[in-house]
Structure 1
Amino acid sequence: MPSLYGLLDNAIKIGRLTMTDAKGAVHVFGGKEPGPEAAIRFTTRAAEWKIFLNPELNAAEAYMDGELVMDSGSIHDLIKVFYANKRHFDLSPSQIFWRGLSRKIRRFHQNNVLSRSRANVKAHYDIGEDLYKLFLDRDMQYSCAYFPDGTATIEEAQTLKKRHIAAKLDLKAGQQVLDIGCGWGGLALYLAHVADVEVLGVTLSERQLAVARRRADILGVSDRVKFELIDYREVQGTFDRIVSVGMLEHVGVQYLAPYFLTVRDRLADNGVALIHSISTKSPPGVTGPFIRKYIFPGGYAPSLSETIVALEPTGLWLLDCEIWRCHYGYTLQHWRKRFLDNREAAVTIMGERFCRMWELYLSIAECVFLQGSSNVFQLQIGRERDGVPITRDYIGEEEARIAEGETEFLERVVASAAQALEE
């Protein structure tokens, strides 16, 4: 009779998993090839059957509920064992069934009409800044940082990310900029100081909006850096530059084409947009059940092929495509460590079950980028083929120029986040 023991015996080829069942019997899987190791224990017999029937979702829920506990190591060690052997897990009958079903109904999961988009944003981004302060950098950048050699601190890497984006946008004084999915306002405020541009940041998070507006007031730039609680589909007017970091993942596959049509319609003549999104080197897929249910409802990181298919009918030029491979993995390493360093405070704020869920989220995400197939792309698109210089040389030159004058405003911009969050 098929069982969880058979599934694990067939799947774990790299590393070793030691499992103590609910009756106290010890089972060892793998060990033939060196790799990560973990030891777990089940507190209920029911958990074993639930995980056998739906491994990805039910294993996560068992850990959240205390039915699966770590006998040695951390949950991150268990996740590393899983990702080292993911190819074999994906071939198991239960995984094939659930992935197939998810593919058939993924448009339902990603049906991000306006009302549903607002609810999805609220479920993740409006749970309170006190949690995010525990693991993000001081500027509250909740997206992939930029690690040119992998050694930067999270504060340095997030500044490098903003500088890189500003340089690629080739900003000119007086331009109008739209920031789609502006978060707590850090990037919009940075761009306004880099090039004396006017920025409109839009978000569906009420809490992020309040912080972003307060930061603009603190810095005395609310006359030219404005933030609105509206969906990108509701924005009116045209802009010289559009930037969107970490928002395309919330659009939904069936809305990719309308999204890029909206970007086109909001771009002024000779306008340029930079779209930064999680993606994958793999063909189109689905969002994992744990992430979809507990972390990012309605979320989906589109493949590059899906994105380009949606972009091509708009008539816009794809001016450049940059692939970031390990950067988000390094970002998540910092976030996970900082979260664990502040776990006691997180439990006080959100409770033990939530913290187990958040550990899973950060660990899975880190492994997806460092062991799996996920990456990040930055698409530079425009109305004209020469919207930016035709080689990348200008990016490094612009980064150097920005860096020279950055210190005079960077600390004030970053400090505004702490002040706004305290009020």
Structure 2
Amino acid sequence: MASSLHTLFGKIIKIGSMTVRGSGGERHYGNGGGRSVTVRFTDEAAERELAYDPQLKLGELYMDGRMIVERGDIYEFLALIKDNTLSEGLTFPMVLNGIRRIIVSQFRNRVPINHNRRNVAHHYDLDEKLFSLFLDEDWQYSCAYFNPPGISLDEAQIAKKRHIVAKLLAEPGQRALEIGSGWGGMAMYLAESSGVDVTGITLSTEQLKISRERAVKRGLGNKVRFELQDYYYLPTERKYDRIVSVGMFEHVGRLNYRKFFNKVNDVLAEDGVMVLHSIGQPYPAIYNNPWIEKYIFPGGYIPSIAEVLPSIEKADLLVSDIEILPMHYAHTLRHWRERFMANREKAAALYDERFVRMWEFYLAGSEMAFTHEAFFIFQMQIVKKRTGVPDNRNYIYEREAELKAFEQSRRPLEKVAG
């Protein structure tokens, strides 16, 4: 094994057990307790590359089949690393790479270019059959709500929609806007459950096509419409009583938070209510994870709540409720990864084995962020007037009970695709 990687693993792995098979034979690290994984490197160059730049190269080597997990899986490997402290394992090349990425990130922050359409297409315009391999029946590609614990993924995604719609306080005849409408599930649930006229906007042509087809099939053509539209260019003369955005804010970018909430202020009615559902992290990031930035979500950024609140305040909006969901996305991602891996042969037929390993690494790494790095989901209820919502939270649970009754008589969802 390359001496640099041997030194790195020797510094890092104190808790748990890791066996590494490589160019110099087999080596063992850790105290023998806890998690136990075995990995194999196919060439010495892979070992050197990982030691030089683990943030980027770990995912690339796994994708390329040059690092193979022989005992356990890639989640267990990542979790074992995170079970141990990384500060003692930092090397000079790793520090240099970090400094370089900070400089690049700061430059991009100061010279912003609108690549929203391109960035969305990179991820969401993949073959629709891919998403059918691991999402629920309604294709909810955001955190589910496992309340009560132990319910199925399909039940948890319905619970998520129910919880959010309850916070919206939607009433028949109101006009609603969904920013980032995905495959249309939330908009259709909102329209059918609450009698609301809904406009959903997206930058994904594939999601737009499927959303429109689904709305027509459910006879919602007059109540739900979907448009290919960047939120920034929404016309200000059209006002909405309710605004919802689920899993889209992570793509706005921290330099654009003020623009985002200014636009919300422009299009939200004076007595309107917005619910924002987003991934959050416990503190601002200096730069994005380079592997995620390159292969999965270019241009994305997960905010801390402290980064979001100032832009809400400067846009003359009020936060009327914040709820933190700490582990629900970990459970969601575990369901997605297990479903995806159960269908890995179908995924490989759509793309190839390298893509399958990339997607597995993405799902495993994302799950690990919630189990080991204190990432969470936050739901913010935002208003212009404090009197726009009740002064207690009882209405949420009362409305959820009404929505559960609606769900019992709701027409079953049609199969989306795949």
Q: What's the TM-score, normalizing by structure 2?
A: 0.95
Is residue 142 of structure 1 aligned with residue 138 of structure 2?
no
Is residue 280 of structure 1 aligned with residue 276 of structure 2?
no
Aligned to 2:225: 226
CA contact (8 A) 2:11 2:89 kept: no
In structure 2, distance between residues paired with 1:315 and 1:86: 42
Residue 266 of structure 2 aligns to a residue in which SS? Answer: helix
Aligned to 1:98: 97
Q: Quick one: which amino acid aligns to residue 421 of structure 1?
A: A
Aligned to 1:31: 31
CA contact (8 A) 2:262 2:315 kept: yes
CA contact (8 A) 1:89 1:95 kept: no
CA contact (8 A) 1:144 1:327 kept: yes
In structure 2, distance between residues paired with 1:335 and 1:108: 35
RMSD of aligned alpha carbons: 1.7
CA contact (8 A) 2:175 2:196 kept: yes
In structure 2, distance between residues paired with 1:15 and 1:296: 32
Shift of 1:385: 0.8
Aligned to 2:207: 208
Distance 1:328 1:176, change over 3 A: same
Distance 1:86 1:204, change over 3 A: farther
Distance 1:284 1:42, change over 3 A: closer
In structure 2, distance between residues paired with 1:107 and 1:129: 35
Residue 410 of structure 2 aligns to a residue in which SS? Answer: helix
In structure 2, distance between residues paired with 1:3 and 1:149: 48
| CA deviation string 1:311-355 (max 9, x = no partner) | 121111111111110000000010000001111111111110000
Aligned to 2:78: 79
Aligned to 1:290: 291
Residue-pair matches, total: 414
Aligned to 1:123: 122
Shift of 1:96: 3.6
Q: Which runs of 5+ in 1 are unaligned?
A: none
| CA deviation string 1:216-237 (max 9, x = no partner) | 1001111120000011111122
Aligned pairs for 1:9-408 (under 5 A) are 9-23=10-24, 25-31=25-31, 34-88=33-87, 91-107=90-106, 113-114=113-114, 116-236=115-235, 237-408=238-409
Shift of 1:107: 4.9
CA contact (8 A) 1:206 1:229 kept: yes
Q: What's the TM-score, normalizing by structure 1?
A: 0.94
| CA deviation string 1:99-143 (max 9, x = no partner) | 3333332255577644x1111111100011100000000000000
In structure 2, distance between residues paired with 1:38 and 1:93: 27
Residue 3 of structure 1 aligns to a residue in which SS? Answer: helix
| CA deviation string 1:191-229 (max 9, x = no partner) | 001110000000000000000001110011111200000
CA contact (8 A) 1:257 1:310 kept: yes
Shift of 1:35: 2.3
Q: Quick one: which amino acid aligns to residue 142 of structure 2?
A: S
Q: Percent identity?
A: 41
| CA deviation string 1:153-207 (max 9, x = no partner) | 0000000000000000000111110000000000000000111000000000000
CA contact (8 A) 1:12 1:88 kept: no
Aligned to 1:421: 417
CA contact (8 A) 2:326 2:374 kept: no
CA contact (8 A) 1:39 1:73 kept: yes
Q: Quick one: which amino acid aligns to residue 84 of structure 2?
A: N
Q: Quick one: which amino acid aligns to residue 360 of structure 2?
A: E
In structure 1, distance between residues paired with 2:267 and 2:116: 20
In structure 2, distance between residues paired with 1:151 and 1:371: 21
CA contact (8 A) 2:199 2:227 kept: yes
Q: Which runs of 5+ in 2 are unaligned?
A: none
Residue 287 of structure 1 aligns to a residue in which SS? Answer: coil
Structure 1 segments, 4+ long, off by >6 Å, are none
Q: Quick one: which amino acid aligns to residue 182 of structure 2?
A: G
Shift of 1:384: 0.3
In structure 1, distance between residues paired with 2:58 and 2:119: 24
Deviates more, 1:69-78 or 1:219-228: 69-78
Residue 388 of structure 2 aligns to a residue in which SS? Answer: coil
Q: Quick one: which amino acid aligns to residue 20 of structure 1?
A: R
